[in-house]
Amino acid sequence: MGYELQLFGSSSPSGTVTILGLTVALLLTAYRMLRAPGRSKLPLPPGPPSEPILGHYRVVPEDAAFKQYAEWAKEYSTALSAATELLEKRGSNYADRPRFVMFEEYTLVPCLPRKHMADVAQDGLVSNPHLASLGSQVPATDVQSFVHTRMSIWHENVQKGLPNDFDLEDIKGAAATIAIAGNDTTAATLMLLVLYLMQNPEVQRKAQQEVDRVVGKDRLPAWDDIPNLPYTNLVLQETYRMNPLSPLGIPHASVADDAYNGMFIPKGTIVYQNVWAMCNDTSVYADPSRFWPERYLPVGQGGNGEPFPAGNFGFGRRICIGRNLAENSLLIVLATMLATVDIDWPVGEDGRPAPFEPEWSFRGQA
């Protein structure tokens, strides 16, 4: 197929010469880039054909792109294990991040500049009068919070005239990051837990029986109970697998040129990990669309011995440092819900539970 370029507003020979000259210049530039010294002779990773000028802009779907990527992985024989090989075993070369231009200018909150968002979060966490003198006003507890610990050290060093490794801005920034990073993700996971417990009453009953057996009915679950609630943990793991909050994860970028399975990965390549595809891989998970926490149990205990889902908290050196905090928070809330409430379908006009099939939106998950 040929492509014809036209210089609008001019049909003169000079216009044709101009277009021809630009075309030749572009071709020469592309040729020089491809033949640049040191460039590998290995092919780039395979993928769907692109369009001239636009590249893959119209090829990648706007909705649920991760599902299309999974189909392409099958079509081009790309192993899902590549994520572990590159991001874990070769983590030092894939620990970079691409530029997030929009995130640099704005936060996820519409129309609120990032600087202002940080100021609001920081003011609420540290600049509050009740928190500004934590070191002297808040009584010590068995478990110290991050802010309490760092502020206590800061006050002590100031009084002794010693330098502080963490200044107030460091403490504010770290505290704000802890709050912002885990807020929406934890809330969304809890909503999914409620949905799946509502849809699977037999799973809910089994988890409630475990909580009643371990905790009893005279108190609420405590942190010490969590290690003794294995089935409750399986419910959480199955929720992770069924609906990864970030289906393609947060992208990495390669620090230097690399080669993998006979393919060339140039420096600066943006690398997405298709967490959704890994969690729905039929070679790993039997009937992946079914919510079945028992799948992780050994075969001798009625399960399939399938592995816990990977990638929900990232990979390699970019793995979420708050994953233990997030999981413990989710488990204690889940155990408390199981100990105190029965979750059922909303009541319809006839006064009976009215089951429904939820609608999912994946727009923007690209």
Q: How many CB atoms lie within 10 A of CB 285?
A: 21
Look at the chain and count its residues.
366
Q: Where are the alpha helices (DSSP H) in the chain?
A: 13-34, 65-75, 82-84, 101-105, 114-122, 129-132, 134-137, 146-160, 168-199, 201-215, 230-242, 275-279, 323-340
Structure tokens at 358: 């939820």
| 195-199 contacts at long range (C-beta below 8 A, 24 or more positions apart) | 195/358, 196/235, 196/238, 196/239, 196/242, 196/291, 197/235, 197/337, 197/343, 198/343, 198/344, 198/345, 199/291
User: How far, in Å, CA of 250 to CA of 277, rounded?
Assistant: 15
Kindly give, in sequence order, each residue whose CB lies less than 8 Å from that of residue 11, ignoring residues fewer than 6 positions away. Answer: none
Q: Output the CA angle 303-305-310, nearest 5 degrees.
A: 120
Task: Consult the annotation and say whether 320 binds a ligand.
Answer: yes
SS3 41: coil
Q: Residues annotated as binding site for heme?
A: 320
Q: Residues annotated as binding site?
A: 320
